[in-house]
Amino acid sequence: MGLLTDNRSGQNALIEFIIKRHNILCYLLYLGGISLFLVLAHESLNNKTYFSENALLPGLVNNEFRDENLAMSYHEELLEEQKKYPTGIPYAWLLAKFSQIGLDTYTHNFTLHYPLADGRSFRGKNVYAILRAPRAASTEALVLSTPYRPPNSAHQTTAASIALMLSFAKFCKQQKYWAKDIIFLIVEHEQLGMQAWLESYLGIERTKTSALNSGMLIGRAGAIQAAINLEFHSEKIGYIDIKIEGLNGQLPNLDLVNLAERISTMERIRHTFKQRSQNIKTDSFNKWFHSFETLISMVLSLATGVPTGNHGLFHRYGIEAITLQGFPREGNQNYATFYTQGRLLEGIFRSLNNLIEKFHQSYFFYLLPSLNRFVSIGTYIGSLIAFTAALLVKALALWLQIRDKPEEIGLLKSNNEPSSTSKQNSISTPEIIKIGTIMLLTHALGIIFMNIPSFLTRALGQHNLNTEQSLYYGFCGISLFTLVVPFICRLEDEKSAIVLNIIALLEFATALTAIGSHNFSLGFLIGAMYVPWILLISPISKSSIKTALQIIIWLICHPFLIMSAIVMVYTYVMFPEENFKDVVNRGIFATQQALVFTIVDSLIYGNWLFNVVTAIFVPTWMSFYCMFYYQVKNVDNKVKKE
């Protein structure tokens, strides 16, 4: 009858296996996730790109763009005009040229109140013109944009992009087949100007305390369906790099990427992705390695959440966009003139003009080992699932241990000591309160850390520290403060530490799943860095040396130290000729700047990398850290008794 009444009968073998072999199973899952990611670049696990939206009809028209000389004339005039405005944008000249073409021309003013310092403001002005569709009622629109860069800009010039835009605008004005409005947009201050223009165009309302005052737009066109951002640096382009990564890891519809790649091929313009040419290797290993380098480069870029161009700000509003960056030719290589560049734009925009509905059929979640091959989410998500599965298996094993096998982890006293099993195998009310207090305290601190940058800059700025130094030294102090948390609320017994470990494992697994479903690259990289160490640490240890070693390992895994180490390694790779001291100094300065940029991106553009780290992963790190200090206390007590 016991077999009929015991609800765990038949499950003992599985429970025994999980309890005894969970470490091996967890590491196998982790290695399986890493292995799956490594082989994604192999052609057997990715597919050749194709068009899902047949209405695009790429390349099925005779291109008619012939205004190469006009573009060259605009370019020469603009270079002369720029000499009068070394630090600003020649509004009058641009407005005059658009007006002469016969377009509706407008300006757009915006203001940024720097969020990390009181009283500092930056003003900018965008210029845009609208070609009204002769065959429709301004219900839909396309955007052709480019950032304006004055002669003293640290970035490469975009004068050639503006000249090409003007000549293409004049060409479009002469055609009668346009069914969508075309907006020609020139933005100041790079992504800041684009963000302000998009918010104004789409009617996004910000609060009075927002850093960016987007201003008002006088002229509007139809609902924007797609956008092409130009960054051509010369009249003669050696190759075009197609940029697709957007804010917070968002990507454009794959059909738009395929369209740019297909038209570039038809016009015989050399094109790259991540500035890497198409894979032409014949050797199997070299072919895989070339594709993997491209794939990992895309993953690293997506993980930062920073757009690779102005196009990346369109994606959050459901607008598909890419950037075409043209680099000057080098040596005697083939090049594309304004004539070929204009034909490229004509082919792309005439295909987009054929759309009768928004992009929806192709992929929005994908990775590219090259421009003509892709990995779908159904394939690559398995590596992240393997990471989370490893965490869940360990959490399950710990729970089964304290429920079914408490004696194996020292939760029960020996037979010689008078003790009740039920008493030893339960958590007292004070300990439950302590566990809840630790979780509440760590997450409350995370929220405080997320909102403290402005306070740090004001408080430390009074001691003659600039913004970079204020934030860097402030977060150094915050990181040291996180080490004190275990002493504020200290656990008393092993089972409480195990329960805290289980909760932290479940939270970390949930965070990886939630983040990875939106930005796989960020979730994967965090999992790849942290999961093996999380699987290694344990609240149960009979050796003080092992306990100390686990604490040291987890201290090295502090998010602030991980960020600093990544920047230091990157600095060493970029400047290998410098001595150790110079590399360290340069690395510290680069870390300060990276921290500032991450916070500013969060406050202005909505990049949530900083928010995720401070509000989720720092509290989770503290939760794991707190569980060690039962061990420290336990070891101290044993030493005293001896």
pLDDT at 593 over 70: yes
Residues 451 and 354 in one domain: no
CATH number for the domain harbouring residue 337:
3.40.630.10
Identify whether 411 is part of a domain: no
29-86 residue pLDDT tens: 999 999 999 999 999 889 999 998 888 888 777 888 988 999 999 999 999 999 888 8
Dihedral class, residue 612 (left if φ above 0, else alpha if ψ from -120 to 50, else beta): alpha
The percentage of residues in the chain with a pLDDT greater than 90, rounded to a whole number, is 55
Is there a single domain that holds both residue 162 and residue 255? Answer: yes
Residues, the chain:
642
Q: Residues 351-407: pLDDT tens digits?
A: 999 998 888 888 999 999 999 999 999 999 999 999 999 999 999 999 988 876 565
1: pLDDT confidence band, cut at 50, 70 and 90?
Answer: very low
On the question of pLDDT at 415 being above 70, the answer is no
- Whether residue 543 is predicted with pLDDT greater than 90 in this model: the reply is no
In a domain, 183, yes or no: yes
Residue that terminates a domain, selected from 327, 352, 371: 371
> Distance between CA atoms of 115 and 634, rounded to whole angstroms?
47
Are residues 434 and 367 both part of a single domain? no
- Please give the Cα distance from 90 to 159 (Å, whole number): 12
429 in the same domain as 367: no
pLDDT, greater one: 124 or 630: 124
Q: Which of 371, 388, 417 is the last residue of a domain?
A: 371
Domain shared by 350 and 499, yes or no: no
Q: Give CA–CA dist 66/340, Å, rounded.
A: 9
| 635 pLDDT tier (thresholds 50, 70, 90) | very low
Is 28 contained in some domain?
no
Residue with tokens 């004068």: 159
Q: Are 247 and 304 in contact (CB under 8 A)?
A: no
With a cut of 90, say whether residue 166 has pLDDT above it.
yes
Q: Quick one: 169 and 284 in the same domain? A: yes
Inside any domain, residue 163: yes
Is it the case that residue 3 has pLDDT exceeding 60? no
Tell me what pLDDT residue 410 has.
Answer: 52
- The whole-chain average pLDDT of the chain stands at 87
How many other β-carbons are positioned within 10 Å of the β-carbon of residue 341? Answer: 29
- Give the separation between CA 625 and CA 328, rounded to whole angstroms: 52
pLDDT in the model for residue 59:
76
Q: Confirm whether 103 is domain-assigned.
A: yes
Give the model's pLDDT for residue 2: 47
**pLDDT (0 to 100) of residue 208:** 62
Q: Is residue 37 part of a domain?
A: no
Q: Is the pLDDT of residue 409 over 90?
A: no
pLDDT (0 to 100) of residue 581: 83
Q: How wide is the angle at C-alpha 51 spanned by C-alphas 356 and 269, nearest 5°?
A: 105
Residue bearing tokens 């928010």 = 611
Residue 321, domain member (yes or no) = yes
Band of pLDDT at residue 113, cut at 50, 70 and 90: confident
Q: Quick one: pLDDT band at residue 575, thresholds 50, 70, 90?
A: confident
pLDDT given at position 339: 94
Q: In the structure, what pLDDT confidence band is assigned to residue 18 with cuts at 50, 70 and 90?
A: confident
H/E stretch holding 512: helix 494-518
Q: Is residue 435 domain-shared with residue 365, that is, in the same domain?
A: no
Tell me which residue has tokens 């969508």. Answer: 180
CB 586 within 8 A of CB 567: no
Residue 141 has pLDDT above 50, yes or no: yes
Helix (H) or strand (E) holding 145: strand 140-147
Domain boundary among 337, 371, 405: 371
Query: How many structural domains compose the chain?
Result: 2
Q: 450 and 357, same structural domain? A: no
Asked, for residue 15, whether it belongs to a domain, the answer is: no
> Radius of gyration over alpha carbons of the chain, in Å?
29
pLDDT beyond 90 at 583: no
What's the pTM?
Answer: 0.89
Same domain, yes or no: 343 and 487: no
Same domain, 105 and 191: yes
**Residue-number span of the structural domain to which 76 is assigned:** 55-371
The whole-angstrom separation of Cα 455 and Cα 475 is: 12
pLDDT average, residue stretch 282-292: 87
* Confidence band, pLDDT 50/70/90 cuts, at residue 323: very high
Q: Do residues 238 and 367 share a domain?
A: yes
Same domain, 513 and 599: yes
What tokens does 446 get? 């995370």
Question: Which tops the pLDDT comparison, 531 or 356?
Answer: 531
Query: Does residue 599 register a pLDDT over 50?
Result: yes
